[in-house]
Structure 1
């Protein structure tokens, strides 16, 4: 009884100590690492990491995974996992566990009783239930856009902050399942304040080399622009992916033998298992540099019956450590990634430095995971458009103040789209590697988010424009469908600009076969044209109205469109038949560019930059790779993840095309028809410094029994010496070299797929003088497989599964039964000198990522928003434009009177020198915004979950020397905020809305 009393007293004192620590978390006194378990300095310490990996959609939808529905597809129920784990932790205070996917945890948390929530808070503040990563999801790293990754991490980390305070803040990033790792992702993690980064997947050749050289852990210098160690991140490659060592899996989903410790049982197996464990621990230690190693004890949707895992792990720890009395020098303990990292840091070693990235990823000689860079291209485009619309929604929620949330159009919110966008960043969502019904569910969640944001946008536009209108969102403009513009005699086009710079844009709307008058916000007529667009597969046409428009920074302009009582004349645009001899080439040009097409083939043959006097022979056409279905030497097939063509040379779709030339004052276009399922429009608008290629591909035919991977290829005479350049998640540029890896000797086994890289926003080639760049409107796979050439994969339709778990071929359905998906997209082609390219190309990429949002208003009398308030036809949320290098990355409502504000310097240190754009820039935020006044400014880490002045990270010594501790946070003066090249600064601003907008 006395022993029980003292045990209860000690436990009570422990809880009081933890409560004291947690109470200090808010003022920065909480020491996370003090809660780590003790280790044995003179022994090999094996840190067991109990964890579960819970995909936020993959084979089942998010809800099916959480509730445990459709177990006929996959047995998984996240709610039961969390129930079981918490109970198991409460039963034994030595146990530890990490959890990662906050979207699932938030679902579960909100369904718990107050008592269970308090128990979990205690576990968290004891360091026994720890969160790793902390994002809403574990996002993909190849196909994500950096701003969307920041958003989803911000959502998850701030849920943890609000729920657990500093006790719940993850200290390590944990990306164990993404299929390759980007340098920009590591940079973002470092800027979020993480001490380290753990992952499981890297190229099989790279891993073998690292094991031999004991370089499984090093410091990743993830930016060439940010001053070290600002973007330095200690990185550890896990030894078994994220699975347990062979024969040591004790989940209900496993079939390994349990640990039977009864000597009288015929199943007794302690001696053999313990010897095995000691042996594999010693072998693993040979690949790592300290006397600490980790073993991941868990896998996909493990711990639904946590007792199975923990009961066997309890025995394992006891029995292995008992061998120390027999001379064993191995100590095993329950641990977490953060506690393991803490031990490495205390070792005070000097670590090697990595500066490139981990793409492409291959897990075998013919198994390059480069197909998913393009898989599900329509979903990838929808995700990118949804990111843009979320920023519009966020901004208007701030600029309109409380009127945006509740108004004449109902109750609007950005929350649902924010969460849907966060889910879409998951490494089986935007990557395109889920089952079809799951991909449909990702799109459903985005659509539901759009609906609520459309209400908010309507409320905000009515408030800011002082006029209630019937707002219409034409979400099918990509297929030239908008019932309002096609039928109305009069309507308004509202162009909202989410950028902090004034933009000009050519509006295109499907209309009837009439003439139209367009007036700008001041009532002046603007030039307009109605052009005839041939309908795919028929002799009918779709008239489209085009007119130039502009919108102020962070604001809108309203254009009035009126149908005239005359029909448009029958169009007779210049056409050139296939292979027809012509007196001269087809040419389209404006004041900046000229594009010349071969009169015999109809294909692009030359681009000329008229400003610089640059002429470059460039041909462009479509090709397709025949997707491998496996062969005698290796059974690997092309699939959702894997790209494996059966030949290195693609098939040309056609050597010549039917063309149609359209020329008027507002646009010049060459319409190219490659086949019944592939066409393209090459166009130039006045003032445009890029050539726009709008392609339409699909349904890709498969009746011939061949899966097809469609590429757009550009061929030039540039001598590029095997080098090309791609962006990393839309930010910094990385050099790529054909058949080469910067840190290890590559044995290239797939000369096409093994040279593909993710392209989030741009790819270019250069000979050192001239640069040819292609900007994309979504993530795609791209490469340069021969000098002077670059290619981008635009669509894939495959007949085989690639045996990576998804269990179905990538055969996306179209509109009709049995038809395939039709995809439309754009490539922007720019030709410049190297000196002038950086400025224009990076700015154009930002303009494409946050293109204007078009909203229509139906005919009828405008109703004043409030009595006596005149209607506005133009509005800007800024009193002045930001300088060209400064991008307003985030403007979002954070609280009743708090705004989240991020500013970004978009140029690298060596870019834009010809225009002085790569220098530090200082901006005045004091009176920048017209809709509100900033009362107080607090700078935070990138994800806004830590005050920057109190944030600190573990310091690491590197082989490259240099500072090991970050520079002190810059002083904060709202009237003089300075940004260095590639720097992002994040602020929480306490604001007061202007009376003019606070309605």
Structure 2
């Protein structure tokens, strides 16, 4: 079964393949026998745990210096992905990944002692498919021997601040699956490697731990944090990634690299470097071997004192290095030989080619007790005035496109799974989710969704997403035709955010198909641009649905854009089809927005919008929101909301540092108001009430309440931000309340668990803060909130943004930024967004609730916001999919709804008759004890789905690249007590229990109803 030690397979009810342990769900009426398949990892001295057999020998009585030869290859930054791979436009940046891999493979063959690590599978997979069979076999041998080691193994090295956890899991799964399919267990990474992301989230550590990684190495952490760690010798410790998952499930050994990810000073021997090579001929006037060896011995000794064992690590490589690998390896060969020769003279230094996994193995063998970290590594600063908190918001339009594409990818995956083979090959041609899957994986790169790439690269990222939508739309059309029984001309209106959809605007009648990717029924307000008319709307059963036509005002006083609004109900994991007909004979009765001038506002005693649950009150003089009342809970909170902007620093006497794509550095502590009052228009219909606020020519907002809605919706539009005066602007939406928050506020971590933040404070060191605004900003992926003893105000976002609470009772989110200076982090281009600037439109959802009852509301609403129903249009009519078929107006892929605390994270095709399933418990242990949403939940998978039957099931680790039954991780000892061993593994598909925050992953053999096979 290969080189690495394997656990025995156990099958119950029959196996389809000897290499895969499947549990037969047809024979589950009798309880299954438990499967105990854990490896003993605390091995005897000198032994190797599974996956570490090829590690080099070290010298126990020496300081062992592990040299790690590596390249860091950004999947887009100054150049596009293709330009980097092929080496195009080297005048921008000299980089050609295909040549790096060619050169490294050649150099590794010359000396069996040499080792190299590689990370970015987006590049490696492309290179691999261009190689001959002979070259591929050479690479397989290098991987088998441990001399070419993959670390991390994701499609990209993802960002950790602006990424959603589901997208992280998807991109890691894509990369790790390629490695497994190509190299088997030999290619499985044991170490996570995030050397360049700009800060690190706790949820990332939790996800990596659940993927089965033994350790995690970081490059960038806050400069003050690193200094303290060096002094305390805490460069390595255990990171506890969850407050809910029982240790060691989310515990991950984490090490901070000594030099970010660059070589030590004077020791860079790449073609891009200028350091002198090793000259060991004493007759040469350039002879420098002795001085370099002496320098290295002092460097190693000094660095070794920062770490706790007799092992230390040095990264020998950097961005796009090793295009001529011979330069690096020839000098490293000499350095190793010359330094080790000094042992004969009493030197205590031993230097060797190594890898992060082999270094980690030696740390594990040291059998020390390690401290535990429970917070995260945000925000990141590399100097007193240099906080990397601007990228939390940079390029908000790209961030929104990425979030929408995540939803569309999940819809594509689910419909492919529900419809079976007919989705891939159907009446509309060949459809495929793979291009969008790869594009989304690329967007998780730490210079993509972050908004920190050059303009031309950002446009290329958007191009990849857009092109990925095309094959997915074909697949959705095939699947909807198959499941509905009717072939229609399905239309995907991508411009609904700017009220454009030709089919709904021009057709006398059309159908609205809503697909719900959640495991529970949802009610959704549909909003479509239409012509100026009245409409008749029918639900799937033919019943009339109330509707309204709401006019959206434009910048032109006489121009108004009508939008049809109606409420739709969509079943779990399914669709509903609504019919819309224009009533041509009926005179339209459209409530126009009432513009209320400042002169006549005094006539309004109270200016408000409300429904049965919420009342929002506005100041008649300013037009600003002033109060929110939760009528259902009898809560009243004064809330003043408006827009402000920080002036972007251009440098000052304290520091040259400017605001840029990465860095947020405001000019002063207080922002400027966009306006002191807003022009307002009021719209009231039976279904929706809106107040339209116009603050300036480039900033406006609609405050909206739909019937039956328990939250307030704020749809903001900002841009193009004026910078004509030469001053960049960073625009925020701020909420001010009288809540006594004591400097505390709360943000999510990649959309999952919540972390408490405290103003001007870090949990692990005494903070010396020079930038009181930027230094208190944190990433907000889906939500941020403040609270006192009684009330909680929560704001949900529709994309990643930066946010903070800079005063008691205050909460702010940065929504857009446009800058005129570069911040000196290599981009060499200001964040001007096409020069003329871009308009960004988004939504904030505001909830007011009682403390202790708010968690269920904001977590479930965040789920609905990320995975809102997908709207597809079609003209009336359409041929039958099969002559004998009956058209279906409503469909659910589930036989029963999932419990509120359970989310179907993944339902996707995985191979021949196989599907990938992930179920997660989306509440923490403390969030909602009142409604019992934090309690464990048990599912029966056997007959859960309506369109297919699960015949066999295997549980895997989170990234689906290891069977859970045979997966094991290195066990560590920590200061707050011994780490317990994982509970014995059992699998019974009739009783799948999810603990709070647990994600369980399954590969299932299935048979589709109607005889479909893949």
Q: TM-score range by the shorter chain?
A: over 0.9
* Residue of structure 2 in register with 1:160 after alignment: 179
d(CA) in 1 for partners of 2:698, 2:160: 31
d(CA) in 2 for partners of 1:853, 1:472: 12
The match for 1:802 among 823, 828, 831 is 823
Secondary structure in 2 matching 1:162: helix
The match for 1:255 among 264, 274, 280 is 274
d(CA) in 1 for partners of 2:256, 2:557: 56
The match for 1:725 among 746, 749, 769 is 746
The match for 1:840 among 852, 857, 861 is 857
* Residue of structure 2 in register with 1:853 after alignment: 870
The match for 1:111 among 130, 138, 145 is 130
Q: Is the 8 A contact 2:389 2:778 kept in 1?
A: yes
d(CA) in 2 for partners of 1:473, 1:443: 17
Q: Deviating runs (4+, > 4 A) in structure 1?
A: 18-30, 996-999
The CA deviation at 1:768 is 2.4
The match for 1:506 among 506, 509, 525 is 525
The CA deviation at 1:22 is 8.9
Q: Is the 8 A contact 1:877 1:930 kept in 2?
A: yes
d(CA) in 1 for partners of 2:3, 2:349: 34
Secondary structure in 1 matching 2:286: coil
- Asked if 1:597 is matched to 2:618, the reply is yes
Q: Is the 8 A contact 1:103 1:156 kept in 2?
A: yes
Q: Which 10-residue stretch deviates more, 333-342 or 651-660?
A: 651-660
The CA deviation at 1:913 is 1.3
The CA deviation at 1:31 is 2.7
- Asked if 1:219 is matched to 2:219, the reply is no
Alignment deviations for residues 837-874 of structure 1 (CA, whole Å, 9 cap, x no partner): 01111000000010000000024x31000111010111
Secondary structure in 2 matching 1:949: coil
- Asked if 1:694 is matched to 2:719, the reply is no
Secondary structure in 2 matching 1:151: helix
* Residue of structure 2 in register with 1:366 after alignment: 385
d(CA) in 1 for partners of 2:171, 2:505: 38
* Residue of structure 2 in register with 1:191 after alignment: 210
Secondary structure in 1 matching 2:108: helix
Change (3 A) 1:335 1:487: same
* Residue of structure 2 in register with 1:14 after alignment: none
Q: Is the 8 A contact 1:956 1:964 kept in 2?
A: no
d(CA) in 2 for partners of 1:872, 1:599: 50
* Residue of structure 1 in register with 2:1004 after alignment: 989
The match for 1:128 among 147, 151, 156 is 147
d(CA) in 1 for partners of 2:253, 2:573: 38
Alignment deviations for residues 502-524 of structure 1 (CA, whole Å, 9 cap, x no partner): 00001000000011111110111
The CA deviation at 1:451 is 0.4
Which 5+ residue runs of structure 2 have no aligned equivalent? Answer: 9-18, 21-36, 40-48
Change (3 A) 1:572 1:322: closer
* Residue of structure 1 in register with 2:896 after alignment: 880
- Asked if 1:329 is matched to 2:343, the reply is no
d(CA) in 2 for partners of 1:768, 1:985: 35
- Asked if 1:339 is matched to 2:358, the reply is yes
The CA deviation at 1:968 is 2.3
The match for 1:980 among 978, 995, 999 is 995
* Residue of structure 2 in register with 1:4 after alignment: none
The CA deviation at 1:590 is 0.9
Alignment deviations for residues 605-637 of structure 1 (CA, whole Å, 9 cap, x no partner): 000011110000001000000000111221000
- Asked if 1:575 is matched to 2:591, the reply is no
Alignment deviations for residues 868-907 of structure 1 (CA, whole Å, 9 cap, x no partner): 1010111110011000000000000001201000000000
Change (3 A) 1:996 1:509: farther
Q: Is the 8 A contact 1:537 1:676 kept in 2?
A: no
Secondary structure in 2 matching 1:373: coil
* Residue of structure 2 in register with 1:921 after alignment: 937
Alignment deviations for residues 445-488 of structure 1 (CA, whole Å, 9 cap, x no partner): 00111001000000000000000000000000000000110100
* Residue of structure 2 in register with 1:423 after alignment: 442
Equivalent positions of 1:806-845 (< 5 A) are 806-813=827-834, 819-845=836-862
* Residue of structure 2 in register with 1:375 after alignment: 394
- Asked if 1:907 is matched to 2:927, the reply is no
- Asked if 1:444 is matched to 2:460, the reply is no
The CA deviation at 1:582 is 2.3
Q: Is the 8 A contact 2:820 2:832 kept in 1?
A: yes
d(CA) in 1 for partners of 2:242, 2:152: 20
Secondary structure in 1 matching 2:603: coil
* Residue of structure 1 in register with 2:963 after alignment: 947
The match for 2:972 among 953, 956, 967 is 956
Q: Which 10-residue stretch deviates more, 835-844 or 314-323?
A: 835-844
Q: Is the 8 A contact 1:957 1:964 kept in 2?
A: no
Q: Is the 8 A contact 1:582 1:600 kept in 2?
A: no
Alignment deviations for residues 220-269 of structure 1 (CA, whole Å, 9 cap, x no partner): 01100000011000000000000000000000000000000111111110
Alignment deviations for residues 694-739 of structure 1 (CA, whole Å, 9 cap, x no partner): 0000010111221000000000000000000000000000000000
* Residue of structure 1 in register with 2:495 after alignment: 476
* Residue of structure 1 in register with 2:765 after alignment: 744
- Asked if 1:684 is matched to 2:699, the reply is no
Change (3 A) 1:945 1:21: closer
d(CA) in 1 for partners of 2:189, 2:982: 20
Secondary structure in 2 matching 1:437: helix
d(CA) in 1 for partners of 2:839, 2:529: 19
Q: Is the 8 A contact 1:228 1:962 kept in 2?
A: no
d(CA) in 1 for partners of 2:594, 2:162: 40
Alignment deviations for residues 4-50 of structure 1 (CA, whole Å, 9 cap, x no partner): xxxxxxxxxxxxxx975599997999932111000000000000000
d(CA) in 1 for partners of 2:189, 2:860: 35
- Asked if 1:68 is matched to 2:84, the reply is no
Secondary structure in 2 matching 1:913: coil
The CA deviation at 1:918 is 0.4
d(CA) in 2 for partners of 1:19, 1:929: 37
d(CA) in 2 for partners of 1:458, 1:210: 55
Equivalent positions of 1:170-319 (< 5 A) are 170-319=189-338
d(CA) in 1 for partners of 2:83, 2:979: 48
The CA deviation at 1:538 is 4.5
* Residue of structure 1 in register with 2:426 after alignment: 407
Secondary structure in 2 matching 1:386: helix
Which 5+ residue runs of structure 1 have no aligned equivalent? Answer: 1-17
d(CA) in 2 for partners of 1:223, 1:543: 47
Q: Is the 8 A contact 2:665 2:771 kept in 1?
A: yes
d(CA) in 2 for partners of 1:188, 1:380: 22
The CA deviation at 1:914 is 1.6
Q: Is the 8 A contact 2:591 2:685 kept in 1?
A: no
Q: Is the 8 A contact 1:931 1:997 kept in 2?
A: no
The CA deviation at 1:996 is 7.5
d(CA) in 1 for partners of 2:433, 2:651: 46
d(CA) in 2 for partners of 1:184, 1:217: 18
> Between Structure 1 and Structure 2, how many residues are aligned?
976
TM-score calculated relative to the size of structure 1: 0.96
The CA deviation at 1:570 is 5.9
The CA deviation at 1:413 is 0.3
d(CA) in 1 for partners of 2:635, 2:677: 26
TM-score calculated relative to the size of structure 2: 0.95
d(CA) in 1 for partners of 2:200, 2:852: 30
Secondary structure in 2 matching 1:365: coil
Q: Is the 8 A contact 1:198 1:236 kept in 2?
A: yes
The CA deviation at 1:974 is 1.1
Q: Is the 8 A contact 1:403 1:998 kept in 2?
A: no
Change (3 A) 1:570 1:966: closer
d(CA) in 2 for partners of 1:537, 1:583: 26
* Residue of structure 2 in register with 1:674 after alignment: 695
